[in-house]
Amino acid sequence: MRTNAKLVAVVVTFNRLAQLQSTLAALLSHPPDQLHAVIVVDNASTDGTPDWLADCPDARVQVERLGENRGGAGGFAHGMACAWQGHDADWIVVMDDDARPGPQAFARFHALDQEGAFDGLAGVAAAVRHPDGRICRMNRPTVNPFWHRRVFLRTLLGGGRAAFHLDDAAFAGQALRPIDGASFVGLFLSRHALERAGLPDPSLFIYADDAIYTMTLTRRGGRLGFAPQIGFEHDTASLGEGGMVTPLWKVYYYHRNRLLLYRLAAGWAFWLLLPLWLVQWPRQARLYPEATRPAFRRLLWRAIRDAVTDDRSLSHAGVMQLATAPAGQPD
Instruction: Pinpoint the alpha helices (H) of the chain.
Output: 17-28, 49-54, 71-81, 87, 105-114, 149-154, 161-164, 168-172, 191-197, 209-219, 250-266, 270-280, 293-308, 316-324
Sign for the pseudo-dihedral over CA of 310, 314, 320, 322:
negative
Residues 206 and 49: their CA atoms lie apart, in Å, by 21
Confidence of residue 242 (pLDDT cuts 50, 70, 90): low
As a whole number of Å, the CA-based R_g of the chain is: 20
Domain assignment present for 316: yes
Task: List Cβ neighbours of 102 (8 Å cut-off, separation of 6 or more).
Answer: 26, 230, 231, 232, 233
Same structural domain, 41 and 125: yes
Q: Output the DSSP codes for 10-28.
A: EEEESS-HHHHHHHHHHHH
Among the three residues 234, 254, 289, which one is the final residue of a domain in this structure? 234
Domain assignment present for 277: yes
pTM of the predicted protein model:
0.94
Domain assignment present for 329: no
Q: Left if phi > 0, otherwise alpha if psi is -120 to 50, otherwise beta: which for 225?
A: beta
Domain assignment present for 88: yes
Among the three residues 206, 234, 262, which one is the final residue of a domain in this structure? 234
Q: How far apart are the first and last CA of the chain?
A: 60
Residue 101 sits in a domain whose CATH number is 3.90.550.60
Confidence of residue 237 (pLDDT cuts 50, 70, 90): low
Same structural domain, 289 and 145: no
Q: Are 181 and 233 in contact (CB under 8 A)?
A: no
Domain assignment present for 178: yes
Residue range 112-167, pLDDT digits in tens: 999 999 999 999 999 999 999 999 999 999 999 999 888 878 877 777 777 789 99
Say whether pLDDT at 330 is over 80: no
**pLDDT number for residue 239:** 47
Q: Quick count: other Cβ atoms within 10 Å of Cβ 323?
A: 18
**pLDDT number for residue 155:** 78
Q: Quick count: other Cβ atoms within 10 Å of Cβ 5?
A: 18
**pLDDT number for residue 69:** 96
Q: State the average pLDDT for the chain.
A: 93
User: Cα–Cα–Cα angle for 191, 44, 97, nearest 5°?
Assistant: 55
Which amino acid is it at 309? T
Domain assignment present for 104: yes
Same structural domain, 97 and 225: yes
CA neighbor of 148 nearest in space, from 308, 265, 61, 10: 265
Percent of the chain whose predicted confidence (pLDDT) is above 70 = 96
Same structural domain, 41 and 111: yes
Same structural domain, 24 and 72: yes
Same structural domain, 224 and 247: no
**pLDDT number for residue 238:** 46
Domain assignment present for 330: no
CA neighbor of 326 nearest in space, from 294, 296, 304: 294
Mean pLDDT of 285-297: 95
User: Cα–Cα–Cα angle for 212, 190, 313, nearest 5°?
Assistant: 30
Same structural domain, 33 and 169: yes
C-alpha distances in Å from residue 39, one per residue of 35, 82, 84, 253: 11, 8, 11, 26
Structural domain containing residue 156: 7-234
Sign for the pseudo-dihedral over CA of 98, 104, 105, 110:
positive
CA neighbor of 62 nearest in space, from 79, 85, 84, 43: 79
Among the three residues 234, 255, 282, which one is the final residue of a domain in this structure? 234
Same structural domain, 226 and 262: no
Residues 58 and 270: their CA atoms lie apart, in Å, by 48
User: Cα–Cα–Cα angle for 60, 64, 67, nearest 5°?
Assistant: 165
Same structural domain, 84 and 213: yes
Same structural domain, 78 and 153: yes
Same structural domain, 132 and 60: yes
* Domain count of the fold of the chain: 2
Domain assignment present for 288: yes
Same structural domain, 297 and 315: yes
